[in-house]
Structure 1
């Protein structure tokens, strides 16, 4: 039976950048070979089950899965607009350093490069610049602007 939007599927996948560097996988063997298992020691590398069309999976993968059948395998290339979007300078926010540092201190946190900041609406950004006047927080997804490649294998369709 061909996969349709709304179906529950279980897949295995390996995700790479265009240069071939693997950044995510469900396959334990691939995780061990690429060093991901060592980088993420608490992660369990196992098949992923989800409903096709929900917001959990990027559009490019969802589009590739629709029409595939149980047991099918494919490799796809997903451009940024069907993955995590293009990088946007509008998603980089600047704050006064002193004021921002005081706000963090009131939460018991220190101002440091690379720290993650979560807004009240749940957006997550990373501090990418600190100087005496300005702090920059980048709310672009870390994979924004990247063309991604996925090896997909459909294990089960319900």
Structure 2
């Protein structure tokens, strides 16, 4: 009997997340290291997990996800203005730089420098793929 993915399955799979232009944003195939996770453990968003339910071992499938079903729309509340003096040689305030900021709870949150104006640096903490329609390709290897 072929196993299918349920809400409690442990899954080993390859996945590729592609942008609308067809370029790969992320893929486990690059290093040939499949992802291993348990459904519901927070590794994937709820909507990515919904795509997987019912898939079986050996099955390959492709899903088109609108931004709301992938990483959401960019939230203007996730854009901050940081003083340039807070940046150093190890984390320069350069447009396009991705810098990890330590939050009050000790966790690190990556932000992308969007703009540098005088002493003000605009940092975007939205997910880099927010606002983008994505294709989610999966190859299910095993299910426990």
Do the two structures share a fold, i.e. TM-score over 0.5? yes
- Specify which structure has the higher proportion of helix: 1
Q: Tell me if the contact between 1:128 and 1:136 (Cα under 8 Å) persists in the aligned partners.
A: yes
* Structure 1 unaligned blocks of 5 or more: 32-43
2:22 match: secondary structure? coil
- Give the distance between the partners of 1:13 and 1:108, measured in 2 at CA: 33
- 1:86 lines up with 2:73 in the alignment: yes
Q: What is the aligned counterpart of 2:113 among 118, 122, 127?
A: 127
- 1:72 lines up with 2:59 in the alignment: yes
TM-score by length of 1: 0.76
Q: Tell me if the contact between 2:28 and 2:34 (Cα under 8 Å) persists in the aligned partners.
A: yes
| Counterpart mapping for 1:37-48 below 5 A | 44-48=31-35
Deviating beyond 4 angstroms after TM superposition, the runs of 4 or more aligned structure 1 residues are none
Instruction: Find the counterpart in structure 1 of residue 43 from structure 2.
Output: 56
Q: Which has more radius of gyration?
A: 1
| Counterpart mapping for 1:3-152 below 5 A | 3-27=5-29, 31=30, 44-95=31-82, 100-105=83-88, 109-115=91-97, 116-120=99-103, 121-152=107-138
- Give the distance between the partners of 1:46 and 1:60, measured in 2 at CA: 23
Q: Post-superposition shift, 1:133?
A: 4.6
Q: Spell out, residue by residue over 1:24-46, the C-alpha distance to the aligned partner (whole angstroms, 9 max, x if none).
A: 2222xxx4xxxxxxxxxxxx332
- Give the distance between the partners of 1:60 and 1:102, measured in 2 at CA: 40
Q: Spell out, residue by residue over 1:42-71, the C-alpha distance to the aligned partner (whole angstroms, 9 max, x if none).
A: xx3321111112211133321111111112
Say how many residue pairs are matched: 138
